[in-house]
Every structure is written in structure tokens, then in C-alpha cells.
């Protein structure tokens, strides 16, 4: 990892970091660097932990997506956060730079399945094999007539595979750099970032909101 780890928040139960673009959330068969391993090394070094460090991955961000991601530092925290995710309690807010001219606000809903061979989400109908409902809301933060691009704030209501990418593409507003779903190529990669995550603290039971700072859109100017 070339950039230093950006820690947003940490305590005895949670570690919240800002994941950069191009870094896996967890290890895969490629052997490329991954955030989970890096975070374990950070905890081991900072707190002088002997042996293996426990760190539970309870959510993921795609390789090409940056932003807020939370890890559980205890098994109890992992279980409670996983339950929140199953119940769709966390509030995840993303920002995306898209091509086209979306309305000031909108709601997208449909049924999608995961094409395992192509590793893509595809639209389908309710009741079809693998069909899962996908729902999100968005509002336009700004737009440019000159470039025919807009910055959207997106609130996920479900958490499906490639959901934001495929739903915005199907609506006619593909994300910059997301060539897989029809977006225009961009040297800085894909313009999608998780800017805010709200969860209930696993032990204190209070709502906590974690935000990724910085004007990330500069790289796409």
C-alpha cells in the first residue's frame, strides 16, 4: 500500500478507516495487498499485540470503490454489527460522478441477479431465479452543462452486488470510469465513494456516524 492508513475512528471494539481506490477489502487468490491484512498489522504494531490479531470484516467495498469501511475488533462486536447489516440498519451514503443529466432527486428500484460468469449484476423480474430487490434514492449535488456530468449523493436502501453501478447505468447515468457498466473511461478510475456510514455502536448502543473527509472529486476534474 503506497498511502498511509487513514484511520477515521478506533476504540476497543471498532476500527473505521478510509479505504483507497485499488485496494482489496480482504485477500483473494491474486496475492495483491488488502485492507484487512494492513489493518491487522496496524493494530499489532500500535498496541504490541502478540500472535494473531483478531479483526472481523463485516462489510466490503469493491476494489474500485473508496471510502468508509468498518472492522470489528472483537467477536462480540462482529456478531452485533453483522446482525445490524442483516436487518439493514446501517445508513450508507455514497457519492458518484455520473455521465448524463439526472433529475434533482430520484428513486430507483428493480430486481437483479448476479451473473457469476461475467461477475456483473443484471436486471431481471421478480420471482426469477436469483432475483433480489434493489432499491436506492439519490439527489443531485451539482452538475455541469459543459461536461454533461453530475455529482450524486446516493442512499442505499438495500445492499446488492454492484447495486449502485448497475442501477445508475440502467437509469442512463453510468458512473465515470465504470466501463463494465457503460461508463466513460477515466484515468483516475471509478468515481464512486462511500462518504458516510451510520451504525449503532456494538456495546454502547449509541448511533455513530463516520465520514470520509476531503474533496475526492478533484481527481476526476
Please list the residues that pair with 91 across neighbouring strands.
198
Mapped onto helix, strand or coil, the DSSP state of residue 127 is coil
Specify whether the CB–CB gap between 152 and 139 falls below 8 A: yes
Q: How far apart are CA 101 and CA 97, in angstroms?
A: 11
Specify whether the CB–CB gap between 189 and 180 falls below 8 A: no
Provide the phi-psi class of 102: left if phi over 0, else alpha when psi is between -120 and 50, else beta.
Answer: beta
Mapped onto helix, strand or coil, the DSSP state of residue 179 is helix
Q: How far apart are CA 25 and CA 28, in angstroms?
A: 9
For residue 63, what are the CA distances in angstroms to 34, 66, 128, 176, 177? 9, 8, 29, 15, 13
Specify whether the CB–CB gap between 196 and 91 falls below 8 A: yes
Examine the residue annotation and report whether 62 is marked as an active-site residue of this protein. yes
Active-site residue identified among 28, 34, 52, 62: 62
Q: How far apart are CA 133 and CA 50, in angstroms?
A: 44
Q: Which of 190, 184, 192 has its CA nearest to residue 99?
A: 184
| Residues carrying an active site annotation | 62
Amino acid at each position: 500500500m503506497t498511502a498511509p492508513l487513514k484511520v477515521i475512528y478506533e476504540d476497543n471494539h471498532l476500527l473505521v478507516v478510509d479505504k483507497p481506490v485499488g485496494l482489496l477489502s480482504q485477500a483473494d487468490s491474486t496475492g495483491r495487498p488488502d485492507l484487512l491484512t494492513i489493518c491487522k498489522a496496524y493494530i499489532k504494531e500500535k498496541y504490541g499485540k502478540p500472535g494473531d490479531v483478531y479483526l472481523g470484516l463485516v462489510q466490503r467495498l469493491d476494489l474500485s470503490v473508496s471510502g468508509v469501511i468498518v472492522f470489528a475488533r472483537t467477536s462480540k462486536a462482529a456478531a452485533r454489527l453483522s446482525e445490524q447489516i442483516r436487518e439493514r440498519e446501517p445508513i450508507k451514503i455514497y457519492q458518484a460522478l455520473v455521465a448524463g443529466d439526472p433529475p434533482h432527486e430520484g428513486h430507483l428500484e428493480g430486481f437483479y441477479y448476479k451473473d457469476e460468469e461475467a461477475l456483473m449484476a443484471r436486471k431481471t423480474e421478480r420471482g426469477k431465479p436469483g432475483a433480489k430487490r434493489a432499491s436506492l434514492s439519490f439527489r443531485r449535488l451539482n452538475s455541469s452543462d459543459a461536461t454533461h456530468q453530475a455529482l450524486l449523493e446516493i442512499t442505499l436502501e438495500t445492499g446488492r452486488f454492484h447495486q449502485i453501478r448497475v442501477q445508475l447505468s440502467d437509469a442512463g447515468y453510468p458512473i465515470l470510469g465504470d466501463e463494465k457498466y457503460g461508463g466513460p473511461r477515466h484515468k483516475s478510475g471509478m468515481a464512486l465513494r462511500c462518504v458516510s456510514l451510520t451504525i449503532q455502536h456494538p456495546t454502547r448502543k449509541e448511533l455513530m456516524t463516520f465520514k470520509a473527509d476531503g474533496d475526492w472529486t478533484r481527481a476526476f476534474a
